[in-house]
Amino acid sequence: MPRKLVDKLRSLIPSNGKKRARKYQRREVPRDQHNVSRSVISEPAKKVLHRLNKSGYEAYLVGGGVRDILLGGKPKDFDIATNATPEEVHGLFRNSRLIGRRFRIVHVVFGREIIEVTTFRGNADSVDQDTAPRDARQTSEHGLLLRDNVYGSQEEDALRRDFTVNALYYCIRDFSVIDFAGGIEDLQNRQLRLIGDPDTRYREDPVRMLRAIRFAAKLGFDIEPETEAPIRELAPLLSHIPPARLFDEVLKLFSAGHGEATYDLLSRYNLLAPLFPETVRALDGGASDELIREALRNTDARIAQGKSVTPYFLFAAMLWPALQVEWARRQDNGDPVQPALHGAIGKVIGRQVQATSIPKRFSGPMKEIWEMQMRLPRRQGKRAFATMAHPRFRAAYDFLLVREAAGEIEPGLGQWWTEFQEANDRDQERMLSQLSSDAPKKRRRRRKPPAQKKASQ
């Protein structure tokens, strides 16, 4: 490893007399001392590893796949790191495609499974600036890393990764696990630790703070003290991240089956406000977050059962407190109920997309879920059938159940809709007839007869 790079990495770790620079040393764990088995690795991933190795390149299973197997789990995705360039990898696999702008990677496609292959990344500060590409490394005024296109060695690649538990490599040739940053020790201690100086690493890419939360919630790990220390102060840096990227990060945060735990951690570290500023403003003003929590519990349960979750339902729940506050404000100002709702929807979504973009294919259904909360109580006559035929009825019905479970509205309406969906035609007619008979009857006002003209004398 170049001396210049070693000095650079050491300088990233603060030393004030109390904290000592953490030493990074390559450690190779043989097969009989770890539990990574080839039987857990997907066949496509093994094919990519073997072909790269047979073609004269180094190739390793890396990151979350190795981490999850060591923890006794079964990874959903398998990533591979190699010393082959993206073009060389692409040339070996006809079923591959080159993607990426900041750093080019290769996706090797096997049906529904995609194996992501990356070239070992280096440190731009350790290369000759006269020969490095002009756009090798660019940073913003806030320290945000804009472009970083430098290839390097396996060791450099490991020390550039975010967390120690993600800097583990599995070699399929001799079945060893290679650890450069003490990741195995941190796995054993169930803690999440950044590689390098946390302040610098978060400024380079503030999304690393969200990744810390996601992994801590997913793995049930503690965030190591030095890793967590700068998060609250640096949380506002997320405002410099493109809204489209933050939208993707929100989906990762809340669609992994640990939504409520993730929500608690985001709130604890002041990271919820950059993602949902209007929601946090409403909660700080006294609004309840019980509906959000109930929706996240519902989402976690669905994921645990192998069911799908929809982004628009998630965003509808996360923004509901903000919508309620804005809707009430407009009604207090004299707007009728329906126009007030439409105006509130437009304003809340308009402000939200400045933080996290919401594609129209999701914002449209989200609006319909909200609007149908006014239609669901109106069931007389043919209204119930028209409501149930709406393409967003099921999601709106689920949202209604969440509102009831959160104590926002009196229970009963959700049960009625549950029974109505399951009833046959005759029972549905009976239920609608019962609604009509239970409805308070309006007293008909008797019309006064026209005044009779007095007969002329």
Active site residues: 77, 79, 162
Residue 172 CA to residue 38 CA, distance in Å, equals 8
Please state the φ and ψ torsions of residue 82, each to the nearest 5 degrees: -150, 165
d(CA 62, CA 253): 21
Is 355 in contact with 245 (CB distance < 8 Å)? no
Residue ranges of the alpha helices (H) in 305-392?
311-332, 337-352, 360-375, 383-388
Task: Please choose, from the candidates 205, 196, 9, 171, the residue with its C-alpha nearest in 3D space to the C-alpha of residue 81.
Answer: 171
Tell me how far the alpha carbon of residue 394 is from its chain's centroid.
23
Beta carbons within 8 Å of 159's beta carbon, 6+ residues apart? 9, 24, 123, 167, 180, 181, 195, 196
Q: What is the DSSP string of 392-430?
A: THHHHHHHHHHHHHTTSS-TTHHHHHHHHHHS-HHHHHH
Residue owning tokens 């035609």? 425
Helix (H) or strand (E) holding 260: helix 259-268
Greatest C-alpha distance within the chain: 126
